[in-house]
Structure 1
Amino acid sequence: MMRIAVIGAGAIGGTLATWLAQTHEVIVCARSPLGDLEVEREDGTIRATPLVLTDPSDATPVDWILCTTKTYDCASAAAWLPGLMGPDTRLAVIQNGVEQRERFPMVPADRVVPVIIDLPAERTAPGRLVQRRNGSIHVPDDANGEAFVTLFAGTVIDAQTTPDFVTAAWRKLAINCSGIVSGLTLRPAEVANDEGVAEVMRGLVRECIAVGRMEGADLPDKLADQVVKWTTLAHPQSVNSLHADRLAGRQTEVDARNLVIVRLGEKHGIPTPLNQALAAILIASA
Structure 2
Amino acid sequence: MVRIAVIGAGAIGGTLAAWLAQSHDVTVCARSPLADLEVETPEGVIQAAPRILTDPAEATAVDWVLCTTKTYDCPAAAAWLPGLMGPTTRLAVIQNGVEQRERFPQVPAQRTVPVIIDLPAERTAPGRIIQRREGTIHVPEGEAGEALVALFTDTPIDAQTTPDFLTAAWRKLAINCSGIVSALTHRPAEVANDEGAAEVMRALVRECIAVGRAEGADLPDKLADQVVKWTTLAHPQSVNSLHADFEAGRQTEVDARNQVIVRLGAKHGIDTPMNRALASILIAASTRP
Normalised by the length of structure 2, the TM-score is 0.94
Give the structure 1 partner of residue 123 of structure 2.
123
What secondary structure sits across from 1:86 in the alignment?
A: strand
What secondary structure sits across from 1:46 in the alignment?
A: strand
Give the structure 2 partner of residue 238 of structure 1.
238
Give the structure 2 partner of residue 114 of structure 1.
114
The verdict on how the C-alpha distance between 1:78 and 1:6 changes in structure 2, with shifts beyond 3 A counting, is same
Q: After superposition, what is the alpha-carbon deviation per residue over 1:110-158, rounded to whole angstroms, capped at 9, x for unaligned? A: 1111111112222222222222222211111010000000111121211
Q: Answer yes or no: is the 8 Å Cα contact 1:120–1:238 preserved in 2.
A: no
Read off the aligned partner of 2:251 and give its amino acid letter: Q
The verdict on how the C-alpha distance between 1:46 and 1:230 changes in structure 2, with shifts beyond 3 A counting, is farther
The offset of 1:234, in angstroms, is 2.7
The offset of 1:43, in angstroms, is 4.5
What secondary structure sits across from 1:89 in the alignment?
A: strand
Q: Answer yes or no: is the 8 Å Cα contact 1:122–1:239 preserved in 2.
A: no
1: distance between equivalents of 2:25 and 2:194?
45
The offset of 1:35, in angstroms, is 2.1
What secondary structure sits across from 2:62 in the alignment?
A: coil
The verdict on how the C-alpha distance between 1:15 and 1:103 changes in structure 2, with shifts beyond 3 A counting, is same
Give the structure 2 partner of residue 102 of structure 1.
102
Q: After superposition, what is the alpha-carbon deviation per residue over 1:5-38, rounded to whole angstroms, capped at 9, x for unaligned? A: 0001112111111111122111110000112222
The verdict on how the C-alpha distance between 1:37 and 1:187 changes in structure 2, with shifts beyond 3 A counting, is farther
2: distance between equivalents of 1:243 and 1:125?
20
Tell me the percent identity: 81
Q: Answer yes or no: is the 8 Å Cα contact 1:132–1:235 preserved in 2.
A: no
The offset of 1:187, in angstroms, is 2.9
The offset of 1:42, in angstroms, is 4.4
The answer to whether 1:44 aligns with 2:48 is no
Give the structure 2 partner of residue 212 of structure 1.
212
Read off the aligned partner of 1:2 and give its amino acid letter: V
1: distance between equivalents of 2:207 and 2:41?
35
5+ residue gaps, structure 2: none
Q: Answer yes or no: is the 8 Å Cα contact 1:96–1:116 preserved in 2.
A: yes
What secondary structure sits across from 1:172 in the alignment?
A: helix
Bigger CA drift: 276-285 or 194-203? 194-203
Q: Answer yes or no: is the 8 Å Cα contact 2:42–2:134 preserved in 1.
A: no
The answer to whether 1:251 aligns with 2:260 is no
Task: Please list every run of at least 4 consecutive aligned residues from structure 1 whose deviation after the TM superposition is greater than 6 angstroms.
Answer: none
2: distance between equivalents of 1:24 and 1:173?
31
5+ residue gaps, structure 1: none
The verdict on how the C-alpha distance between 1:155 and 1:187 changes in structure 2, with shifts beyond 3 A counting, is farther
- The Cα RMSD (Å) is 1.4
1:90-239 correspondence to structure 2 within 5 Å: 90-239=90-239
Read off the aligned partner of 1:128 and give its amino acid letter: R
The offset of 1:183, in angstroms, is 2.0
Read off the aligned partner of 1:34 and give its amino acid letter: L
Bigger CA drift: 61-70 or 178-187? 178-187
Read off the aligned partner of 1:67 and give its amino acid letter: C
Q: After superposition, what is the alpha-carbon deviation per residue over 1:234-268, rounded to whole angstroms, capped at 9, x for unaligned? A: 33343322122223322111011000101111111
The offset of 1:209, in angstroms, is 0.4
Q: Answer yes or no: is the 8 Å Cα contact 1:59–1:80 preserved in 2.
A: yes
The verdict on how the C-alpha distance between 1:229 and 1:40 changes in structure 2, with shifts beyond 3 A counting, is farther
Q: Answer yes or no: is the 8 Å Cα contact 2:190–2:237 preserved in 1.
A: yes
The verdict on how the C-alpha distance between 1:176 and 1:256 changes in structure 2, with shifts beyond 3 A counting, is same
The answer to whether 1:74 aligns with 2:74 is yes
Bigger CA drift: 217-226 or 186-195? 186-195
What secondary structure sits across from 2:191 in the alignment?
A: helix
1: distance between equivalents of 2:185 and 2:24?
40
- Matched length: 286
